[in-house]
Structure 1
Amino acid sequence: MSTVMRKKVCIVGAGPSGLVAAKALLHDGPAGAFDVTVFDGKTRIGGLWPSRKDDAAGLVHPLMVANQSKHTVQFSDLAWPDDAPDLPRAWQIGQYLDRYFQTYCREAKLMLGNRVEKAEPLVSSSESHADAGWRVRTRSTAGEVAEETFDYLIVASGFFGAPSIPQIDLEHADIPVIHSSQYRNLQGILGKTDGKAGKVLVVGGQMSGVEIAATIASHISSAMHSPGSSPIPSPENYSVHHLIQKPAWVFPLHISPKPTSSAPPFLPLDLGSYDLSKRPQPLTNSQGHITVETAKIVHSMYQTALGTDQSVFSQAVSVSTAETADPPYLAVSDNYMDFVRSGLISVSRGKLDTLAGHQATLSPSGTKIDDVAAVVLATGFKAFSSISFLPASVHETLSLCPSDLYNTVALAFHGTHHPSIPNLGFVGFYRSPYWGVMEMQARFLTALWTAGGPSSSSLPPSLKNALETDISIEQTLNLRTDPRASQFPMGDYPWLMQEFASALDLQLSAHLGKMPSLPPAGMEMSILTPARYPSRSLTEFQRAEVTKSLQQTEATVWAGLCSAKFVAKAVFRSLLGEWKLERELMSKLPSHPSGHFSGTAKFLLRAGTKDGREAEFDAPGEDGSDGLEYLYVEEGDFKAANGLTFRATRRYVWRYNEKSDKLSVWFVKTDDPKKADYLFHNVDFVVPMQDGEAEIGGKGWEATAGHLCIDDFYDVRYRFHFEAVNLRDWRLSYTVKGPKKDYMIDGVYSR
């Protein structure tokens, strides 16, 4: 009786790509078909994702908030814990991966602290080379070298291998220059300066550039407006100068599926973006080569979703009509645009040419930027270091182009393999690390190798057809010189999921129950998540996890569309900056004069403080973050009805609690106007009555609050009017009644 020899597989990398590859080989292929070993140079699993709040040594800060929700940042058959936030932090993602490993990858041989130095293909006597293996050499953290042979090799070492540093003349620079992945706090860069304040120059206008510019601006704002001593001297003398080559559409973390409503509901950005009901079926690829017509359509969609061409923030970030013919670029940040409007971030267009002393010179204009205190390069990552262990002959076969950060290698069927090297596979080696695609790539390689490789006669019909019609390599090579290449050239996420599912003969599962319907077509939403593409054979445990994941997503969608969930967050985000304030005071008692206040109200962003909520602060939430809050400062002139005019000011602290999804307002201490004292009121949003799809009267989002101050009761009413995702104006009214008070305040805030 003959036995089938188990095929040995070497996986390079123990991040999400490596773990899902191991899981697919161990559980999606024939039982016992593969013997899996996972190598990683780090001494922990997770790759980019740390699993501890204090692990700040990697490329991702542990407290960084993911720009995709937990519904997308997951694999199909492991749901997040019920109390996990919708937008997890990096260390929580690391813990999810640890749980995934413990659940599905324990049968793999895990070799942490062992870096793969070299992987050489073995010479095969076979004409097809399909049975050739790999000799893999590793080096441990202790310097021990080992060699082992494998039948298959999977590269899961990460597309974001090493920071990409542009060729810039830094010889005469007298200031710190770091990559965005190295930034942690203001002290880390400004603490190394010669004491001269000025601009933190952020170079790079895509995802990481927008994100790091906003992060640094928030740190400067916090240093200026927090109680106690500042982490750097004179923080008010610093600002961020952002250098971009073209404007990106900057989306907040929550958008609305009803952007034209005066009281728009909100959902996490990815849930709104991956609503399949909005796209004709079957899906066509919206990335790659972008025609002028396609570009204009997408630009128009982005402008509708944001409610602006971004000129309301600054002309420097606006997308002009002429620019809508160019392929659109997208970035994600809650605070970037309002920091631009406030002036804490200024924006220039061009490329950094040289640095000399404290001065930067831009090309091609030759414009000078003076008083530069530090430079942060948000210039992306090079993938080449992640495959440096492969020999030159393999690099040549893969058409390696180290200088192309988007299309580094040319791989078949959406970044999974090359037909000339059938025992080499890739998982997660592309610029958009959507976890569903990683899982599909792992399943694809498992199915391909189970069938005997790309030239095998045993390929299932769907897989055979997918390989025969695939043009991924040709497209990749063409995009290297295509001036109209998209931001994410490999393909858009829903389309990629569809293509892999078709090749693997997987079906998109239905939602568990009825989903909300949206105008104008009135179609039920169909939210794409990895759990919508479950494996064909599920264990009882897996089935329960898939069901739990779908339930979590559907509950989030219903809550976002039929309650006030996420509205407090949207309001809080959009308050940042300065508002014009006009307020009427109408008193029925002569002891309190009536009159009119005219002035400004500033919402100054800072890190969360514990004042007034010590018990809550000393037992922080599971995310390990103190959150953000505003110091509210209003200043202006009050003109009483009797003709007397005097200067008036008041301060509060506004807070948002992500766990409870609550907005609150706090009094400040009289002896320290930067410190919160005690709670004034919680802001409770009222779901608007609806007539069909339109709110009655278009009144916007209303909210109520109340506060008893000894014998005086404050009855508080809010009304917030949105322009898509941003507040256009809002109203705050108080009715105050007590033994010695009987007056009403009605204030209108506008930009």
Structure 2
Amino acid sequence: MPKVAIIGAGPSGLVTAKTLLQDYPDFSPVIFDYQHQVGGLWNVCPDPNQPVTLDSRMPTNLSRFTVAFSDLDWESVLDEVPIFPRAKQVAQYLSCYAKRYVPNEILRLGCKVVATERKADDGVKWNVQWLQDFGTPTEKLCAEDFDFLAIASGFFAEKHVPSIPGLAEFSDHVIHSSTLHQRRDNLSHALGHNDTQGTTLVIGGSMSGVEAASAAALGQSSSALSTHTREIPAVQNKVHHIHSRPFWALPTYLPHGSEEDPSFQPLDLAMYDLSRRPAGPIEYALGPIPEERIAKTNGYFQGLLGDDYKTYAHMSTGQTKIQPPWVAIGNDYAEFVRAGAIQTSMGRVISVHPDTRLASVRYAEPNGDIKTIDNVGTIIMATGFTPFKALSLLPDSVLSKLEYCETDPFSPLILDKGGTVRSEIPDVGFVGFYRGPYWGIMEMQARFLGHLWSGTEPVYTEEQKASLRRIRAADPDLARGQFPMGDYVGLMETFAKELGIRRSVLDGDQSGPVIPARYRDTSTGQGRGMASENEATRTLGALRDALHGAAARTGAASAIFRALHGKWKSLHTSGIDETACEVVFYPRYPTSPAYDREYVVETGVCVTGRSWEKTFSIMRLAETPSRATSIEMWSVSLADGFEADCISERWSLTPLRRELNGESTSGGYVISAESVGPSGGTLLYIFHFKGVSISTWECVELDGSTGHTSELDGPKYRSRTVYER
């Protein structure tokens, strides 16, 4: 029975072992991991030696439908599944997956692989050496031979901190973004909001840069809102974000759907919809990015997000050269930029100059001008990770055949078949070893290795390898994309064709989002059956509800909540009286574990002349399925600070619809919400969206004789308040 050594017990390693055990039972897999629990990067109770950690409260960037395997439905793991599960819930999912599909006897946890050797004297064998009981007093070196080797240890093996002159001398005030969450509960001390603690500087763009800058700004805002006074103190120091590439900051929900059935959907369901591809066979796009495709991508995002949001969410160089845009995901980033809490600069940091507690940081703009940021108290390095540590286990002779490049963290290897193997050395395979490892791709890669190692000879071509070599040789600024294997839809379809997997029908046709549950492999018949089919069926049922059912309103609630962030001018009309005021939505950490997002809402009403009367309330959003279709307003008890007292309103949302007033352009939507006001009357809220931003919104107190309604064509109202930026 061929033995397979799998390095890594994260999602890639688990799905590889499960696929071999259930679909190719002639194999005997063994999983090695230096941690004492499965989960890999998602293990939120890590060993002390783990170099990269995740915040257990961090939601996933992609929805539950993409962060899943085809044969384990999230409802089998959790009673209530949020659309974007948190890291600790992903850890639960992987633990459940392992218990169901991966026997304990094949798990060698607490075993750190330190070297491998490929022996080809009498048939190919891999000698794997590991430290048994790693990190304990009984630690010892062991070794064993295997027939195949699967590298499933992930791409994000080690934190990357670039060499910047002066940075080491300021190291006591430098935080890598992967450990920022460890300071969240005391973030006011780490990042502060008073003059003595200085500016917080975030270095690095893309995902971690946006997340770190947003986390720092939220920490400062939350610290200011922890006061026990009746005033909200101003945050003295802003967050300064320096990034070297253009990017789009995307919210987690995007407008999508037909003219008749528009909705806000999770970004992955919107962006990975097959209807976005041209008619005919789907081709996998891999290689340097031409200018016309860059322009088309920018046009897509601008049309989708809207001009107003673009002003704060699209960070460009301002230069004539066209660079491939990167994508970052963050609900709060653009609104923090709008509010001035985050200041952005394009450039590359060239030096750090410490002076006792603070430092000045010099950076070069794209045009070569040198600028300085003074009074920097904390530097957050959102500079990503490198994969080289995971590859150090392979012998030099193997790395040579894989065209290993130790200076290219984006494409360190040249692999074929969707980043899985090389024909010259097919006894070593890779699962999840690339930037942006979607779980569906991991599952496809594991299936491909099973086909290959069981004797099915694939057709190898030079096409993918040649494309990767062109990416390597291309200008990193002008032709390289964020993810070398970023065409998720094309890659899933290519794997499905290669493996003979037929995509399941959704709502009567073959279109709709690409998710793993639509690609069940029924070709082998081993380990497949009604239980696996039921898991996929439940997932597809939940997907339909997210697209068209009651759960579709979750996106609308999240979109409204996100877009209210910041300052609004309002005009209140009651009879012949008009009152102008200012309303500000300040974000902070949720003060109750039952909620996921929270604002302190400050309303300042002009009484006479310059006299203002301020009132406060709390707005909350829970993103659990049973509560995510409503937004709650709470009254405030100022005696103990800005603390929620009792619910004063609960907004019940109506379905999204297209703008009907004739003034909208493409991307105009209306969402309505109803509530019972403090005086017992019906309150109707109407939010006018352009792209993902609210252009204006209004609150109408309806006349009691009118009853509940979601339209304004005729009903009488007692008062009306209109809000504008």
TM-score normalized by the length of structure 2: 0.88
CA shift, 1:189, in A, is 7.1
1:606 — aligned with what? 588
Worse-matched range after superposition: 371-380 or 168-177: 168-177
Change in 2 beyond 3 A, CA 1:107/1:24:
farther
1:361 — aligned with what? 362
Superposition pairs for residues 360-379 of structure 1, below 5 Å? 360-363=361-364, 364-379=368-383
Matched, 1:724 2:691: yes
1:745 is aligned with what amino acid? Answer: S
Tell me, yes or no, if the aligned pair for 1:582 and 1:748 is still in contact at 8 Å.
yes
Q: Root-mean-square deviation (CA), in Å?
A: 2.9
Aligned partner (choices 628, 643, 647) of residue 679 of structure 1: 647
Matched, 1:12 2:7: yes
Q: Which runs of 5+ in 1 are unaligned?
A: 1-5, 126-130, 452-457, 516-523, 587-593, 611-616, 621-625
Matched, 1:472 2:449: no
Tell me, yes or no, if the aligned pair for 1:53 and 1:62 is still in contact at 8 Å.
no
Matched, 1:705 2:662: no
Separation (CA, whole Å) in 1 of partners of 2:579 and 2:187: 43
2:306 — aligned with what? 307
Separation (CA, whole Å) in 1 of partners of 2:339 and 2:286: 34
CA shift, 1:54, in A, is 12
1:518 — aligned with what? none
Separation (CA, whole Å) in 1 of partners of 2:48 and 2:301: 36
Tell me, yes or no, if the aligned pair for 1:56 and 1:62 is still in contact at 8 Å.
no
Superposition pairs for residues 630-641 of structure 1, below 5 Å? 630-638=599-607
Separation (CA, whole Å) in 1 of partners of 2:4 and 2:54: 29
Separation (CA, whole Å) in 2 of partners of 1:335 and 1:260: 28
TM-score normalized by the length of structure 1: 0.85
2:323 is aligned with what amino acid? Answer: D
1:42 — aligned with what? 35
1:213 — aligned with what? 213
- 1:698-751 C-alpha deviation (Å, 9 max, x unpaired): 7822221113x5xx423312110001111111011235889xxx9933211111
1:139 — aligned with what? 131
Superposition pairs for residues 92-491 of structure 1, below 5 Å? 92-106=89-103, 109-125=106-122, 131-140=123-132, 141=134, 142=136, 143-169=139-165, 170-173=167-170, 176-184=173-181, 185-186=183-184, 191=189, 196-226=196-226, 236-258=235-257, 265-280=263-278, 281-308=280-307, 310-313=309-312, 317=315, 322=320, 325-357=322-354, 358-363=359-364, 364-451=368-455, 459=457, 463-464=458-459, 467=460, 469-483=461-475, 484-491=479-486
2:623 is aligned with what amino acid? Answer: E
Worse-matched range after superposition: 601-610 or 172-181: 172-181
Change in 2 beyond 3 A, CA 1:56/1:136:
closer
1:136 is aligned with what amino acid? Answer: V
CA shift, 1:365, in A, is 2.5
Separation (CA, whole Å) in 2 of partners of 1:422 and 1:514: 40
SS at match of 1:497: helix
Tell me, yes or no, if the aligned pair for 1:160 and 1:382 is still in contact at 8 Å.
yes
CA shift, 1:56, in A, is 12
Matched, 1:733 2:703: no
Worse-matched range after superposition: 696-705 or 574-583: 696-705
CA shift, 1:312, in A, is 3.2
Separation (CA, whole Å) in 2 of partners of 1:346 and 1:259: 37
Change in 2 beyond 3 A, CA 1:108/1:21:
farther
Change in 2 beyond 3 A, CA 1:319/1:245:
closer
Separation (CA, whole Å) in 1 of partners of 2:556 and 2:501: 37
Matched, 1:69 2:63: yes
Larger Cα-atom Rg: 1
2:502 — aligned with what? 507
SS at match of 1:97: helix
SS at match of 1:299: helix
Change in 2 beyond 3 A, CA 1:720/1:471:
same
The number of residue pairs the alignment matches comes to 678
Separation (CA, whole Å) in 1 of partners of 2:7 and 2:212: 30
Tell me, yes or no, if the aligned pair for 2:10 and 2:38 is still in contact at 8 Å.
yes
1:577 — aligned with what? 566
Tell me, yes or no, if the aligned pair for 1:713 and 1:736 is still in contact at 8 Å.
no
Change in 2 beyond 3 A, CA 1:298/1:533:
same
Change in 2 beyond 3 A, CA 1:321/1:415:
same
SS at match of 2:40: coil
Tell me, yes or no, if the aligned pair for 1:287 and 1:488 is still in contact at 8 Å.
no
CA shift, 1:491, in A, is 3.9
CA shift, 1:264, in A, is 5.2
CA shift, 1:297, in A, is 0.9
SS at match of 2:303: helix
- 1:1-20 C-alpha deviation (Å, 9 max, x unpaired): xxxxx001100000000001
CA shift, 1:696, in A, is 7.7
Tell me, yes or no, if the aligned pair for 1:190 and 1:374 is still in contact at 8 Å.
no
Q: Runs of 4+ in structure 1 displaced over 4 angstroms?
A: 51-58, 186-190, 192-195, 258-261, 318-323, 693-699, 735-738
Aligned partner (choices 72, 80, 97) of residue 78 of structure 1: 72
Separation (CA, whole Å) in 2 of partners of 1:450 and 1:164: 38
- 1:168-195 C-alpha deviation (Å, 9 max, x unpaired): 1124437511211111235767746898
2:709 — aligned with what? none
- 1:327-348 C-alpha deviation (Å, 9 max, x unpaired): 1211110000000010111001
Q: Which runs of 5+ in 2 are unaligned?
A: 706-715
Worse-matched range after superposition: 626-635 or 37-46: 626-635
Tell me, yes or no, if the aligned pair for 2:191 and 2:216 is still in contact at 8 Å.
no
1:613 — aligned with what? none
CA shift, 1:675, in A, is 2.0
Change in 2 beyond 3 A, CA 1:598/1:503:
same
Question: Aligned residues: percent identity?
Answer: 32
Superposition pairs for residues 623-634 of structure 1, below 5 Å? 626-634=595-603
- 1:540-573 C-alpha deviation (Å, 9 max, x unpaired): 2111112111111122111279x63421111011
- 1:451-475 C-alpha deviation (Å, 9 max, x unpaired): 1xxxxxx63xxx33xx2x3522222
Tell me, yes or no, if the aligned pair for 1:413 and 1:470 is still in contact at 8 Å.
no
1:96 is aligned with what amino acid? Answer: Y
Tell me, yes or no, if the aligned pair for 1:159 and 1:382 is still in contact at 8 Å.
yes
CA shift, 1:271, in A, is 0.7
Separation (CA, whole Å) in 2 of partners of 1:430 and 1:327: 19
Tell me, yes or no, if the aligned pair for 1:36 and 1:108 is still in contact at 8 Å.
no
